[in-house]
Structure 1
Amino acid sequence: MRDSITKLVSISFLGGLIGRALRYGFNVVIARGLGVEALGIFAFGMVIMKGGGVFARVGLDNAAKKYIPIYRDNDDPARVSGTILLCLGTPFVVGTVIAVVLYFGKGLTEKLVGTTFHATTALFILGIPLIAIMMVGVNATYGLKETKYSVYIRDFGQSIAALVLMAIAAFVVSDLSVLVVGYLLSILIGAVLAIFFLHQENALRLDIKPVFEYRKIFAFSIPLTLVASIQYLVSWTDILVLGVFVSSESVGWYQAAYQTSVLLIVVLQSMNSIFPSIAAGLHKSGQHERLNRLYTAVTKWVTYLTVLGLAYVLVYSQQILSIFGTTVQSAEISLVILAIGQSVAATVGPAGYLLMMTGYERLQVVNTTITAVLNFALNIVLIQSYGIIGAAIATGVSFSILNLLRLAQVWLLLGIQPYSREYWRGAFAILGAALALSLVKLLPAPGYIQLVVGGSIAILIFVATLWSFGLTDEDEILIEAIN
């Protein structure tokens, strides 16, 4: 591979950070422009659309990340093109079928769950094939062992277009339906960009006859469809159940808390953008010790940065949620619970992808099924008693259990566990940063000033402390070039 993993991850991290900030801005724009109730309606529609998109992808997003780099390394452009066409065409067909079924079955679904969906739900349903194509296209570019294209497609192209169109709809037109249409247009832009970059990289070629490895690809991807759909339910059962049992305004406050907590896993998501393709290559070539070192180093730095973010959220939960308007205590408590759950998930590193890329993808079905059943049961029981706080507890517990299962399996099946006594360095740096955050909070200054000043000082202390300790042997893997 031309670039070092450090460069690849840094591109993904910086781009992902900007993209995540832009997508976080979607929620702020809706809450500020149309109200928290509109944010709840939008969140519910998004869950329907993304859920349908997960089924429509048929696991081909992960198949693209696995097989495209293998065929490119073998200098087999016909199979590369065939894989891309298969991975893009299938989600379009399946997504269209799902959208038609859901669109015409909406009335029956409303009767079954005993509620009436907002009119914008139908618009989100129509967006299912679009989001499926865009997400598979993004993952196909990961198979090129490049992270810049995913940044261009989703973090810049789609996200900037969405933010601009949504802001116009919220503050100028003041219409939620127009806002949803603008968002769907941004997804179409993202899908077109994905196809363009794949063609530009000569991965998707029209001058050769494509070879379709149907059996091999679908044998890998179809089992992952169940994994992905159940994983999605683990992530979004809370919004679905909240949409049935509580008001749209409460769903909006929960969405604000949840989307804030998701910011904590941006480091893990950046690592995940390149780790699967590299892990598949290392495993296939028998470089198990190198794979072990890679996973260990990645997990350590993901843990450091995620726990630093957790400290920031715990200290400034009220100030952060005030960005959406006048905050409520239940949203602050939910944010704290969700942040802890997301941090537990992040500190096991890319364990799930490590299992998938080393031949244990079917084991993920077991993990996600157990977690999904537990998550659904907890949400049904706790939401009716404790509202959005109950949803936060159910989701946080589910995230933690799922990722601890993955960690245990990586240890038992692959003999890899990423932790060592060297973590004291990060613990020391994080404690110093947390102390600074707490002291800045005591200053008589507006909340936004505390957020900026406290965060800046904490980062400086964190970086300076780790810099003074120097690099360990494990850290060297992050600065070595991978050929």
Structure 2
Amino acid sequence: MSQPESRRAPAAVQSPGLDRNILAAAKGGGIVFVGKVFTYGSRFLIAFLLARLLGAEGYGSYNLALSAATIAGGLALVGLDAALLRYIALWRSRSDDAGVWGALQVGLVVTTVLSVLIGTALFALSYWIAATVFHDIRLAPYLQLSAVIVPLLTLSNILAGATRGFKNFHHFVIAQYFVQPLVRVILIVSFVLIGLGIEQAILIYGIADLSASLLLLYFLNKEFSLRRPLKSGRREVRALLSFSVPIWLSDSMLTFRNSIQIVLLGSLATVTTVGIFAVASQLNLVADLVQSSVTTAVKPIIVEVHDQGKRMDLASLYQTVSKWMFAFNLPIFLIVVLFPTQILSLFGKSFTLGAEALTILAWASLVDAATGMCGAVLDYSGYAKLKLFNSVLRLALSISLNLWLIPIWGMVGAAVAVLVSELVVNLLRVGQVYYLLRILPYNLSSLIPVLAGIVALVMTLIIGQVLALDYIVEMIVQCLALLVVYTALLWKFGLADQDQIILSHIGRRARKRVGRFVPGLT
């Protein structure tokens, strides 16, 4: 969609298809959420095993090597994963098979060539980077191994973008959220028995991505047959790149922001600090479960709704999804803020030094959730250049704050840099969405999770004062109390019409599935 098209006056009347779009977002988000729950559980287990086996310094070296591979893979994508998602969804809705086939060709060929070239460059420069940037020549072999897996990471991401464009989230979730982490867990546990080092951990990461890529390729061929003449595809390279390059630059800013933080910690602090901060960041990912799951599902819906000019549908979708994100994240935030030291102690005594950083990162995630899916609305309503501006601003803020604060406060300074950059950019994006589309992520029902969270927090603190138990048992009891009170209040007072529609839909599907085994239930 061109920029002029995206600015046309949207319809002001809510369409009958709103409930269908809300259900599609919930269904797709639910599928992705289930996959991400499994992925997060697997990552938690992987982080726990690697932290215990490698120690803080070894785990830091592992994360530095993967950060280098992530940066290289992000460069090689050239934003074509996002372009495939958008244009496949758009052309598929118009039954334009030639456009879909041409987009797939462009995406796969360009990213494969670039990933090989960039991986080769990283391999050649590994010793220089280890000595000059990290001041530790021991990191060079790990960087070389990370260079080898760059093409595998890129292939997995481009195939995932293509698969999501068809809106069949089962395929994408099975490959990237089940198979990939499962392969990692199985291989890591297997290597534990014969000896696991940093080199093996890096190679396992690449093998798992290759497994996901092969499965994604199979699913993609099942959804859209790849056995067709190459010339039958319409390769709109200009259209794809005009969308993908701004997205690539902005997504690279996001990738670089996270990875540069790891690099700066390794350069300005110590490799051990990197390991502790990486565990804190990994724990904080649980807050991203609902947000990333629903946003992934809702992107192609935003494309369709905005393309049809249905502003009221877009506004309702924006508000409903934003409330889901915040409502889920709030109790996780409260638990992390109440018990950061106890949570980190699971990884080893040395990791408890990251408690303050974990708390600050939890605030950053809450800010991100509280501002809803403003970034996705901007991106997939056709404002890719605006996303680039926001990402450049966030990267500039992040680098400046990291350079200033890490030498002073170490990992706490890195966490503060994340919080400030998230706060500034997300508030800016909310304002941009309102200025361009005249919609906000909030309505009166958005206050209900806030009130429920306050009541649940007060009840939890009271229970903590009354109980005199072992600190682990007390933490478990308080967490359960918080979740029960919060959920009960949301159930009683927080369900809007759209939420009732979704719950009714889930109930019908559950009864239908159970009815296969219990006759008469349906």
Is TM (by shorter chain) over 0.5? yes
For residue 164 of structure 1, what is the aligned residue in structure 2? Answer: 186
For residue 490 of structure 2, what is the aligned residue in structure 1? Answer: 466
Q: Is residue 35 of structure 2 the alignment partner of residue 15 of structure 1?
A: yes
In the alignment, residue 399 of structure 1 is paired with which amino acid? E
Whether the 8 Å contact between 2:29 and 2:290 is mirrored in structure 1 is no
Shift of 1:463: 2.1
Whether the 8 Å contact between 1:258 and 1:338 is mirrored in structure 2 is yes
Shift of 1:127: 1.1
Q: Is residue 80 of structure 2 the alignment partner of residue 80 of structure 1?
A: no
Larger gyration radius, structure 1 or structure 2: 2
Gap change, CA 1:450 and 1:38, over 3 Å in 2: farther
For residue 303 of structure 1, what is the aligned residue in structure 2? Answer: 326
Counterpart-to-counterpart distance in 2, 1:259 and 1:470: 30
TM-score w.r.t. the length of structure 2 is 0.87
For residue 142 of structure 2, what is the aligned residue in structure 1? Answer: 120
In the alignment, residue 236 of structure 2 is paired with which amino acid? E
For residue 147 of structure 1, what is the aligned residue in structure 2? Answer: 169
Q: Is residue 70 of structure 2 the alignment partner of residue 50 of structure 1?
A: yes
Gap change, CA 1:97 and 1:328, over 3 Å in 2: closer
For residue 409 of structure 2, what is the aligned residue in structure 1? Answer: 386
For residue 438 of structure 1, what is the aligned residue in structure 2? Answer: 461
Cα deviations by residue, 1:354-381 (Å, 9 ceiling, x for unpaired): 1111121101111111221121111112
SS in 1 for 2:440: coil
In the alignment, residue 218 of structure 1 is paired with which amino acid? L
SS in 2 for 1:286: coil
For residue 262 of structure 1, what is the aligned residue in structure 2? Answer: 285
Match for residue 319 of structure 1 among 314, 335, 342: 342
For residue 292 of structure 1, what is the aligned residue in structure 2? Answer: 315
Cα deviations by residue, 1:86-117 (Å, 9 ceiling, x for unpaired): 22232211111100111112233345436235
SS in 2 for 1:75: coil
Cα deviations by residue, 1:319-369 (Å, 9 ceiling, x for unpaired): 111111115554000000111012111221221111111121101111111
For residue 61 of structure 1, what is the aligned residue in structure 2? Answer: 81
Two-structure CA RMSD over aligned residues (Å): 2.2
Deviating more after overlay: 91-100 vs 207-216: 207-216
SS in 1 for 2:339: helix
SS in 1 for 2:260: helix
For residue 31 of structure 1, what is the aligned residue in structure 2? Answer: 51
For residue 417 of structure 1, what is the aligned residue in structure 2? Answer: 440
Counterpart-to-counterpart distance in 2, 1:16 and 1:373: 30
In the alignment, residue 49 of structure 2 is paired with which amino acid? V
Deviating more after overlay: 443-452 vs 194-203: 443-452
Whether the 8 Å contact between 1:169 and 1:176 is mirrored in structure 2 is no
Gaps of 5+ in 2: 1-19, 506-522
For residue 115 of structure 2, what is the aligned residue in structure 1? Answer: 95
For residue 276 of structure 1, what is the aligned residue in structure 2? Answer: 299
Cα deviations by residue, 1:379-402 (Å, 9 ceiling, x for unpaired): 112111111111111122112222
Whether the 8 Å contact between 1:294 and 1:478 is mirrored in structure 2 is no
Whether the 8 Å contact between 1:271 and 1:350 is mirrored in structure 2 is no
For residue 199 of structure 1, what is the aligned residue in structure 2? Answer: 221
Gaps of 5+ in 1: none
Counterpart-to-counterpart distance in 2, 1:453 and 1:475: 29
Shift of 1:203: 5.4
Deviating more after overlay: 364-373 vs 428-437: 428-437
Whether the 8 Å contact between 1:23 and 1:159 is mirrored in structure 2 is yes
Whether the 8 Å contact between 1:371 and 1:398 is mirrored in structure 2 is yes
In the alignment, residue 164 of structure 2 is paired with which amino acid? Y
Counterpart-to-counterpart distance in 2, 1:85 and 1:225: 18
Counterpart-to-counterpart distance in 2, 1:458 and 1:407: 30
Counterpart-to-counterpart distance in 2, 1:344 and 1:372: 17
Whether the 8 Å contact between 1:147 and 1:273 is mirrored in structure 2 is no
Shift of 1:161: 0.4
Gap change, CA 1:264 and 1:470, over 3 Å in 2: closer
In the alignment, residue 386 of structure 2 is paired with which amino acid? L
Shift of 1:469: 1.7
Cα deviations by residue, 1:277-302 (Å, 9 ceiling, x for unpaired): 10001011111110111011100110
Match for residue 338 of structure 1 among 343, 353, 361: 361
In the alignment, residue 142 of structure 2 is paired with which amino acid? T
Whether the 8 Å contact between 2:145 and 2:202 is mirrored in structure 1 is yes
Gap change, CA 1:449 and 1:46, over 3 Å in 2: farther
TM-score w.r.t. the length of structure 1 is 0.94
Q: Is residue 370 of structure 2 the alignment partner of residue 347 of structure 1?
A: yes
Whether the 8 Å contact between 1:34 and 1:170 is mirrored in structure 2 is no
Whether the 8 Å contact between 2:322 and 2:441 is mirrored in structure 1 is yes
Counterpart-to-counterpart distance in 2, 1:80 and 1:375: 37
**Paired residues, what number?**
481
In the alignment, residue 92 of structure 1 is paired with which amino acid? T
Match for residue 358 of structure 1 among 357, 373, 381: 381
Counterpart-to-counterpart distance in 2, 1:196 and 1:440: 53
In the alignment, residue 91 of structure 2 is paired with which amino acid? Y
In the alignment, residue 404 of structure 1 is paired with which amino acid? L
SS in 2 for 1:358: coil
Match for residue 227 of structure 1 among 250, 264, 272: 250
SS in 2 for 1:42: helix
Deviating more after overlay: 436-445 vs 376-385: 436-445
Counterpart-to-counterpart distance in 1, 2:473 and 2:218: 42
SS in 2 for 1:362: helix
For residue 12 of structure 2, what is the aligned residue in structure 1? Answer: none
Cα deviations by residue, 1:55-105 (Å, 9 ceiling, x for unpaired): 111101111111111221122223222222322232211111100111112
In the alignment, residue 106 of structure 1 is paired with which amino acid? S
Counterpart-to-counterpart distance in 2, 1:36 and 1:345: 28
For residue 183 of structure 1, what is the aligned residue in structure 2? Answer: 205
In the alignment, residue 192 of structure 1 is paired with which amino acid? L
Shift of 1:473: 4.0
Deviating more after overlay: 133-142 vs 73-82: 73-82
For residue 128 of structure 2, what is the aligned residue in structure 1? Answer: 108
Deviating more after overlay: 257-266 vs 276-285: 257-266
